[in-house]
Amino acid sequence: MNFISNFYMLFGMNILLFSLLASIASLAYGVFLIWQVLAKPQGNEKMREIQKAIQEGSSAYLARQNKTVFWVGLAAVLALWYWLGPTLAAGFVVGAVASAFAGYIGMMVAVRANVRVTEEARQDFPLENLSGQAKHQRRLSNAFNLAFKGGAVTGFFVVGLALLSLTSFYWWTQDAKSLIGLGFGASLISVFARLGGGIFTKGADVGADLVGKVEAGIPEDDPRNPAVIADNVGDNVGDCAGMAADLFETYVVSALSVMLLGDMMFSGLKNAIEFPLLVGAFAVLASIAGSLFVRLTGNGIMSALYKGLAATTVILLAMFYWVTEKTNIVNLGNLNIFGALVVGVVVTAFMVLITEYFTSKKFKPVQSIAKASTTGHGTNIITGLAVSMQSTAWPVLIIGGGILISYIFSGLYGVALATMSMLSLTGIMVAIDAFGPITDNAGGIAEMAGLPDSVRQVTDPLDAVGNTTKAVTKGYAIASAGLAALVLFAAYNQELYNLGYNVIFQLTDIRVLLGLLIGGLMPYLFGSLAMQAVGRAGGAVVDEVRRQFKEKPGIMDRTEKPDYGKAVDIVTRAALKEMIMPAVIPIAFPVAVGFILGPEALGGLLVGVIVTGLFVAISMTSGGAAWDNAKKYIEEGQYGGKGSPAHKAAVTGDTVGDPYKDTAGPAINPMIKVANIVALLIARFLV
């Protein structure tokens, strides 16, 4: 009790100080994990050579992407400065730089962790009296622990940087509206990172699979495939850097939406504005503690990761109960603050479980796609599309239920708090997600380095679980994006009211209806452009791989070495070229609709993009992961195993699913919020 009393006396009246210290603690813990990862051995010379190639390719791509985005960012800064003032422009810079840095740190640790995980899976324990199964279990446990620590670096840097930028910028400005610029910077960078990284990773993956697996009949990650290094580079720039920027943006925008709504609804009541930062600070402490519970026993890889999530959740709920029920830090009358916070955590739990059901090899949806593959490519695609559409039903019902219950508890502010409660688990969720690309690369290095099958027997099950963890995190991010966008829409409506324009959005108003239809169109148009971009990038890789196989026949008998760098360069140029047009959509459409059709139409657009975006994003991410794991299910020996007709059909399905789950689907998440933030920025010019 003395500790609690002292804690309250020290921080109870200074939420910003506590939040700042928590963000520093998150970054410090991330640095500690980096030290632990880098202390591990890197394996033999061949493994280090492959890792170096992946690292150099990843760094080169990210540098070129940042140079391209810089000019877009500079134009945005100048526009914000001219029309909205220096404070919003400064916020944009802070959000953009922090988002890019979060992605960079995550990727640079991942490309160094991959070879170390491979080495952990290779260790022989010669001096210990262990059976073959015991050695395998030790390798699996060691590789799992290291991969999780590597992923956790990304998680704690994302949360730490997000909380640090929000707290410090708000402390400096003392103006919640100034955070809109910060959110815009984070969102814009996220769109480019998700799109560019997604186009790169799936263009390389699709190209490598179509020529390597299907035409040449060589295994995945075979060093004879000229696109194999590009494929591994893609895992890092898309699933590490892109994912980190995405979750950073989701966290920042969700927090600022709650702070903004609190400012508008409670007339500048300080604690209502700052409370989301306190939620984030508690979450950091809970996530650090929860990460210590991640331990692998037996072969339950997914359950080991869920131990950390469950522990974090329990600790966090206890903290929420104490701060809302046992202190007066937040006193907002009759609002049930604790109930709204619990709703967010419950929605997260259900989203995790539902997404795992639709994407894990253990359950019927994935197995049904695998079974459909036995009758051909067409039936695989039909069943995969059916599963992808089915996967939207329960998540949307859960999200809808969460909105209703949190609204009953605390009105619109309750919905906002439920959103922040969901995002409070970002640290541990990103750690679980970033686990995936590290294990994927580890398996690739094992294959390319010619290591024994015993190594792949460790990395393959880790990689398979990684596919599910990536899907789970994307579902989580999309659900929170839907809630955050709803809060931003409420903030847009409130902003119009504060400007003296009391608008009522009715379907009988032709302007609202037109906006609704245009907004509903946006996720489909955005997704189609992203898919086409992957198709063109993948086609370029296919042409290059075929060229090298034709001009260098010695590649197949290993007397000639493929030109890996050429494939990396082709995908890099394609990704940077193709990411521009889709990224323009969430900026151009709201501006055009707002100034041509008015604020009523813009409000309709926001509702339309939220609704269809939620369905399209969930369908793509879950369906794509289901296709991928159906292929892996067959590769484990089901329905004829590798090389069988069912496997060839499953590879085709995976080729469709890859851009679904790793490019178009997750990129819709920041796209929704960019549209809403742009609406907030231009609202004052529309009335």
Report pLDDT digits (tens) over 295-336: 887 678 888 888 988 999 999 999 988 888 777 766 666 678
Q: What's the confidence (pLDDT) of residue 12?
A: 47
**Overall average pLDDT of the 493-516 stretch:** 85
Percentage of the residues of the chain whose pLDDT score is greater than 90: 28
Work out the pLDDT band at 257, boundaries 50, 70, 90.
confident
Mapped onto helix, strand or coil, the DSSP state of residue 177 is helix
Task: State the pLDDT confidence band at 8, using cuts at 50, 70 and 90.
Answer: very low
Going by the DSSP 8-state scheme, the letter that residue 503 receives in this structure is -
- The answer for residues whose C-beta is within 8 angstroms of residue 357's C-beta and 6 or more apart is 363, 365
**Confidence label for 470 from pLDDT (cuts 50, 70 and 90):** confident
pLDDT confidence tier of residue 130, bands split at 50, 70 and 90? low
124: pLDDT strictly greater than 80: no
The answer to whether the beta carbons of residues 578 and 664 sit under 8 Å apart is no
* pLDDT surpassing 70 at residue 648: yes
Q: Flag whether pLDDT at 94 surpasses 50.
A: yes
Nearest to 212 by CA among 533, 450, 549: 549
Q: Which residues contact 590 (CB under 8 A, 6 or more apart)?
A: 602, 605, 606, 675, 678, 679, 682
- Can you point out the beta strands (E) in 375-512? none
Per-residue tokens: 87 = 């404070």
DSSP three-state, residue 306: helix
Work out the angle at residue 518's Cα, subtended by the Cα atoms of residues 512 and 521, and round it to the nearest 5 degrees: 140
What letter represents residue 391's amino acid? S
C-beta of residue 617 within 8 angstroms of C-beta of residue 669: yes
3-state secondary structure of 1: coil
- pLDDT tens digits along 173-188: 888 888 889 988 988 8
Residue 510: alpha-carbon gap to chain centroid = 37
Alpha carbons 610 and 500: distance in angstroms, whole number: 26
Residue-by-residue DSSP string for 546-593: HHHHHH-GGGTTTSS---HHHHHHHHHHHHHHHTHHHHHHHHHHHHHH
For CA atoms 142, 143, 148, 151, give the dihedral sign. positive
Instruction: Indicate the residue type of 38.
Output: L
* Confidence at residue 565, expressed as pLDDT on a 0 to 100 scale: 82
Closest to 604 in 3D by CA, of 525, 492, 527: 492
Residue 81, pLDDT above cutoff 90: yes
pLDDT grade for 167, boundaries at 50, 70 and 90: very high
Burial degree of 110 (CB within 10 A; 0-12, 13-18, 19+): buried
Question: What's the length of the chain?
Answer: 687
Report the pLDDT value the prediction gives residue 330, as an integer from 0 to 100: 66
Question: What is the rounded average pLDDT for all residues in the chain?
Answer: 85
The mean pLDDT of 564-577, rounded to a whole number, is: 83
- What is the pLDDT, as a whole number, of residue 583? 84
Q: At what angle do helices 510-551 and 179-208 cross, to 10 degrees?
A: 40
Average the pLDDT over 84-104 and give the result.
Answer: 90
Rounded CA separation 547/83 (Å): 52
- How confident is the model at residue 218, as a pLDDT? 74
Whether 169 shows a pLDDT value over 90: the answer reads: yes
Asked whether 93 and 78 are in contact (CB, 8 A), the reply is no
In 3D, which of 291, 353, 345, 293 has the Cα closest to residue 319?
Answer: 345
Query: Could you tell me the pLDDT band of residue 271, with boundaries at 50, 70 and 90?
Result: confident
Specify whether the CB–CB gap between 651 and 214 falls below 8 A.
yes
Q: Is 438 or 471 the better-scoring residue by pLDDT? A: 438
Is residue 9's pLDDT more than 80? no
Q: Are 605 and 519 in contact (CB under 8 A)?
A: yes
Model confidence at 664, pLDDT cuts 50, 70, 90, reads: confident
- Type of residue at 387: V
pLDDT value of residue 636: 84
pLDDT at residue number 333 = 65
pLDDT in tens, 28-63: 999 999 999 999 988 888 888 888 888 888 888 888
Neighbours of 588 (CB within 10 A): 11
Give every CB contact of residue 536 below 8 A, 6+ residues apart in sequence.
203, 574, 578
**Banded pLDDT at 1 (limits 50, 70, 90):** very low
Confidence of residue 656 (pLDDT cuts 50, 70, 90): confident
Residue 600 confidence (pLDDT): 92
Count CB-CB contacts under 10 A for residue 682.
Answer: 18
Burial class (CB in 10 A: 0-12, 13-18, 19+), 171: middle
**140: Cβ contacts below 8 Å, ≥ 6 apart:** 121, 296, 299, 458, 461, 462
Task: Average the pLDDT over 576-582 and give the result.
Answer: 84
| Statement: residue 471 has pLDDT above 90 | no
Task: Name which of 611, 584, 585, 617 is nearest 517 in CA terms.
Answer: 611
Pick the closest to residue 417 from 490, 364, 368 (CA basis).
490
- The residue-averaged pLDDT of 366-389 equals 94
pLDDT for residue 3 is more than 60 = no
DSSP 507: T
pLDDT of residue 166: 93
pLDDT score of 126: 59
Q: What integer is the mean pLDDT of 500-508?
A: 81
The residue that leads in pLDDT, 25 or 450, is 25
Are 301 and 528 spatial neighbours (Cβ–Cβ below 8 Å)? no
62-86 mean pLDDT: 87
Q: How confident is the model at residue 129 (pLDDT cuts 50, 70, 90)?
A: low
Cβ atoms within 10 Å of 70's Cβ, excluding its own: 12
Tell me how far apart the alpha carbons of residues 615 and 395 are, in angstroms, rounded to a whole number: 9
Highest mean pLDDT among 24-33, 60-69, 100-109: 24-33
Sign, Cα dihedral of 536, 542, 545, 550: negative
Phi-psi category of 269—alpha, beta or left, where left has phi over 0 and alpha has psi -120 to 50? beta
Q: Count H helices and E strands in the chain, helices first.
A: 22, 0
**Among 509, 516, 468, CA closest to 489:** 516
Of the listed ranges 207-221, 279-293, 350-364, 659-673, the least confidently predicted one is 207-221
* Burial class, 115, CB count within 10 angstroms (exposed 0-12 / middle 13-18 / buried 19+): buried
Can you tell me the distance from the alpha carbon of 522 to that of 605, in angstroms, rounded to the nearest whole number? Answer: 9
Phi/psi region, residue 131 (left: phi>0; alpha: psi -120 to 50; beta: rest), is beta
Q: What is residue 10's predicted lDDT score, i.e. its pLDDT?
A: 45
Tokens of 503: 């608008």
Q: What is the pLDDT of residues 589-633, one digit of tens each?
A: 999 999 999 999 999 999 999 999 999 999 998 999 899 889 989
pTM of the model: 0.87
Find the helix or strand (DSSP H, E) in which 599 lies: helix 599-635
Q: Would you say the C-alpha torsion 38, 40, 43, 45 has a positive or negative sign?
A: positive
Per-residue confidence (pLDDT) for residue 5, from 0 to 100: 45
Q: Report CA-CA distances (Å) from 266 to 259, 261, 274, 301, 415.
A: 10, 8, 12, 46, 15
pLDDT at residue 468 greater than cutoff 80:
no
Under the banding of pLDDT at 50, 70 and 90, the label for residue 500 is: confident
Show the 3-state SS of 433-457: HHHHHHHHHHHHHHHHCCCCHHHHH
Nearest CA among 93, 87, 497, 599 for reference residue 261: 497
Q: Among 265, 205, 471, 236, which residue's Cα sits nearest to residue 363?
A: 471
Which tokens belong to 404? Answer: 């209703």
The reported pLDDT for the residue numbered 214 is: 67
pLDDT given for residue 268 in this prediction: 63
> What is the percent of the chain with per-residue pLDDT over 70, rounded to a whole number?
95
**pLDDT at 466 (0 to 100):** 73
